[in-house]
Chain A
Amino acid sequence: MSLTIAIPSKGRLKEKTIEAFTNAGFDLRMPEDARSYQGSLHGVNAAEKGVDVSFLSASEIARELINGTVHAGVTGEDLARETIADADTYLEFVSQLGFGHADVVIAVPQAWIDVETMSDLDDVAAEFRSRHGRRLRVATKYWNLTQSFFADHGIALYRIVESLGATEAAPSAGQADAIVDITSTGSTLRANGLKILDDGVILKSQANLILSRTARITSDEAGILAEIRHALDTVTDMLERKK
C-alpha cells in the first residue's frame, strides 16, 4: 500500500486544510474527475512522485486511521477521540493545526444554581433516582468522551440519551437534564439557558495531523511524513506568533 494521507472532503475543514498545506509550500491537487476521491500532494522533497491523498468525510478519516488503511490524516481531535475509547493506542496526534477549534463541554441548566462543578453533578446524579424516580439523563452524540470523562470524575449513575442534532435544546424539550456538546463561544448554550460547569471542559479540540499507529510504514515513508509535519508545524507556529 502506498503512502496515503486522508483530507476532509467537504466544508470549512476541507478549505482550511487545503490552505494549511498551501501555506506550508505544498501543492494539494484535487481529484481529476468529480466521482473520484483520490487526489495527490506534490512539493514534498522526499517524495518526487507525490503522495496519494484520499478525500474522506471527517469522521471516516478517524476510522480509516484506526484501521490502518491510511497512514496519516487531518481531522478534529474530538471526532478521533469519540471514534475509539483509547485513541492514543491507535493514533498519534502529532500536530495541532490551529483551526477547527471546538470545545466539548458538559452544560447544565442555568437554573441549577447549586451546580457549578462535576462534584456537584455527582451529588445530583446520586440522589436523582430517589428524588425523581429515574436516573439523570445526559443528551449527547459523544458517547465515548462522555463516558470516559464521567468515569474519571467517579460518576456512574446517569444515562446517556442519544442526540444527533440541536442537543442544546434537549433540556427544554424534556429529553434530558444535561448535555455534552461542542461549542466555540458558548453563546448558543447561554441562549438556551445552559451553563458550562467550571471543570466541565472535556476536550479543547482542533484540527490535528494524526498518524496511524496500525498502518505499516517504511522508513522512507516515515521521512516523508516527518517533512510534511515539520512544514505544517512551521506555518502554524508562525501564524500563532502573529496573533
Chain B
Amino acid sequence: MKLQAITGSLAESGCKFPSIDLLQPADPFLDTTGEDLRRRIFITQENTGKTLCLRPEFTIPVCLAHLKQGDNTGRYAYAGSVFRQRDKEPQEFTQAGFEDFGDQNRLKADINCINIAIKTLQQAGQQNLGLTLGDQSIFSDLLEALDIPSAWRKKLTRNFGDTELLIENLSVMYTMDEEFLTNIPKEYHALLENADTQRLEALIGERMSEDGLSPTFGRTPNAIADRLMQKLELSSAALDEEKYNLLQSFLAIDVTLADAPLALAQYQKASGLDLKSGQERLAAMAKAISEYVGDARYRANFGRRLDYYTGLVFEIYSGGSQKPLIGGGRYDQLMTLLGSPKEIPAVGFSIWVDRLEAAL
C-alpha cells in the first residue's frame, strides 16, 4: 500500500520508470562495487559461461539504460524486488528509488533529490523525519587546502566513510619512517636517488621479461617506476603534527545541520583553511530542508567507501526504525566506470520499502 504512495509520488516528480530485468549480467556490479559484492548477491551462470545475477539493486541497471538511451539528462524512478544474501533479514525485498542524471548544477540537484526523498516519505505517511548528511567534497577541499601530496589525498579520499581505516592511514602517514630504500633491491637505489626514471623503467622492464611477464598485459614498467618515485617522495614527507591534528578535528565535527555552516566557519577561522564553498553548500541545504525535517545532522566523516561516490551522502530515518528508510548520495564517477566517455553527474536515493512498511 505504501509502495503505491511511493511510486505515485515519484511519478508526480516527473520520473520515467525504465523496465529493468530481474536477471542481470553480473559484471557491471562486480566491476564497479568490487569482488566483495559476490558474497552478498545471488550469482548464476548461463550455459555459455556468462555470469548472471539476480538484480541486487537498481542504480547500475538504470545508469546502463540511460547510457543506452544516449540522452544528456534524465530523471528515473524504479520499484521492485531485489535480492541479497542476508543473515537475519529476508533475502528478497522491495526497493524503490530515484535517479537524476546529467544536471550540471550539482547543489540544486542535491537539494532537489533530498526534497523528493522527504516528500515521498511524507506521502507514504511518515512524519517526524530525521536526517544525517555528509559531503565528501568538503573533505576533498580540506585535503587540497592542507596541501596533502596527491597520492595520499587519493588514499584518504578512498578511505572516507570508514573513519577507523582513515585514522589508521593518517597515523601511518604521521609516523612515516624514512627507511624506504632498505626494502628495495640494491640495483635500483642509485637510479631512484638520481630520479633516473628512464633507466629505472628499463631495468624493471628487463626484470619483467626475465620473469616472463608481459609488459602490456597488466602493470607496465612505467606504472611501477612512477609509483616508486612517488613512494620515495612520500617517504621523506611525513604528515606534520599540525595537519594530522587538523584532519582529526575536522573528522570529529558532528553538529545539527543548522549549525553546520557556523561550525565550518569556526573551523576555518581556527585553521586558516578555506572551506567557504562547503559552508555555502551546507547553508543552502539547511535552509531548504529544515522546514520538513525535525532532526537533521551534519557529520563531517559520513560517507560511503565506494570509489564512485563523490559528494553528498544522506540517510533518512523515521517511525522508530534503527535503520535508515532512505539512503542516497551523489556518484559522479559511476557512469564513467560503466563505460561513459564523459562524466555524467548523478544523484539519487533508494527506499527500503520493507522497513517503511514495518515502520510506525
Closest to B206 in A: A111
Closest to A143 in B: B38
A residues in contact with B211, CB < 8 Å: 109-111, 172, 192-193
Q: How many A-B residue pairs have CB under 8 A?
A: 101
Contact among A110, A119, A146, A177 with B218 in the assembled complex (CB-CB below 8 Å):
A177
Task: Give A132 to B162 CA distance when docked, in angstroms.
Answer: 27
Contact among B162, B188, B212, B305 with A113 in the assembled complex (CB-CB below 8 Å):
B188
B208 engages A111 (CB within 8 Å):
yes
B residues in contact with A146, CB < 8 Å: 35
Closest to A112 in B: B224
Closest to A174 in B: B217
B307 engages A119 (CB within 8 Å):
no
Task: Give A143 to B154 CA distance when docked, in angstroms.
Answer: 28
Task: Give A39 to B221 CA distance when docked, in angstroms.
Answer: 58
Verify if A85 is at the interface (C-beta below 8 Å from B).
yes
Mostly, the A contact residues are: mixed
The verdict on A111 contacting B224 (CB below 8 Å), with A119-B172, A123-B151, A132-B218 known, is yes
Task: Give A174 to B214 CA distance when docked, in angstroms.
Answer: 7
Distance of A2 from chain B, by nearest CB (Å): 32
A126 engages B158 (CB within 8 Å):
yes
Verify if A41 is at the interface (C-beta below 8 Å from B).
no
Task: Give A123 to B158 CA distance when docked, in angstroms.
Answer: 9
Task: Give A137 to B217 CA distance when docked, in angstroms.
Answer: 11
Distance of B243 from chain A, by nearest CB (Å): 20
Closest to B151 in A: A123
Chain A 113-134, CB-CB to B under 8 Å as 1, else 0, gives 1101001001110111101100
Contact among A113, A157, A171 with B34 in the assembled complex (CB-CB below 8 Å):
A157
Distance of A150 from chain B, by nearest CB (Å): 7
Verify if B360 is at the interface (C-beta below 8 Å from A).
no
B residues in contact with A144, CB < 8 Å: 39
Task: Give A136 to B162 CA distance when docked, in angstroms.
Answer: 22
The verdict on A147 contacting B172 (CB below 8 Å), with A110-B211, A154-B165 known, is no
The verdict on A147 contacting B36 (CB below 8 Å), with A126-B158, A154-B159, A172-B211 known, is yes
Task: Give A150 to B35 CA distance when docked, in angstroms.
Answer: 9
Task: Give A114 to B228 CA distance when docked, in angstroms.
Answer: 5
Contact among B37, B38, B227 with A114 in the assembled complex (CB-CB below 8 Å):
B227
B35 engages A113 (CB within 8 Å):
no
A147 engages B39 (CB within 8 Å):
yes
The verdict on A154 contacting B224 (CB below 8 Å), with A109-B208, A147-B35, A171-B213 known, is no
Verify if B21 is at the interface (C-beta below 8 Å from A).
no
Verify if B65 is at the interface (C-beta below 8 Å from A).
no
Task: Give A114 to B223 CA distance when docked, in angstroms.
Answer: 10
Verify if B23 is at the interface (C-beta below 8 Å from A).
no
Task: Give A174 to B155 CA distance when docked, in angstroms.
Answer: 28
B residues in contact with A127, CB < 8 Å: 154
Chain B 206-233, CB-CB to A under 8 Å as 1, else 0, gives 0110111110011111011001100100
A158 engages B35 (CB within 8 Å):
yes
B residues in contact with A138, CB < 8 Å: 35
Contact among A114, A150, A154, A160 with B231 in the assembled complex (CB-CB below 8 Å):
A114
A residues in contact with B213, CB < 8 Å: 109, 111, 171-172, 193
Distance of A191 from chain B, by nearest CB (Å): 10
Distance of B303 from chain A, by nearest CB (Å): 14
A residues in contact with B184, CB < 8 Å: 113
Closest to B39 in A: A147
A residues in contact with B224, CB < 8 Å: 111-114
Q: Which of A145-177 contact B (CB under 8 A)?
A: 146-147, 150-151, 154, 156-160, 171-172, 174, 177
Task: Give A150 to B36 CA distance when docked, in angstroms.
Answer: 8
Verify if B195 is at the interface (C-beta below 8 Å from A).
no
Verify if A135 is at the interface (C-beta below 8 Å from B).
yes
A residues in contact with B39, CB < 8 Å: 85, 144, 147
Verify if B183 is at the interface (C-beta below 8 Å from A).
yes
* A residues with CB within 8 A of B: 85, 109-114, 116, 119, 122-124, 126-129, 131-132, 135-138, 143-144, 146-147, 150-151, 154, 156-160, 171-172, 174, 177, 192-193
What are 7 of the A-B contact pairs (CB < 8 Å)? A110-B207, A123-B155, A124-B219, A154-B165, A154-B305, A158-B34, A172-B212
For the A-B complex with A109-B219, A110-B207 known, give 16 more contacts whose Cβ atoms are closer than 8 Å. A109-B213, A111-B207, A111-B213, A111-B224, A113-B185, A113-B207, A123-B227, A124-B227, A126-B307, A132-B219, A143-B38, A154-B159, A156-B37, A159-B30, A171-B218, A177-B218
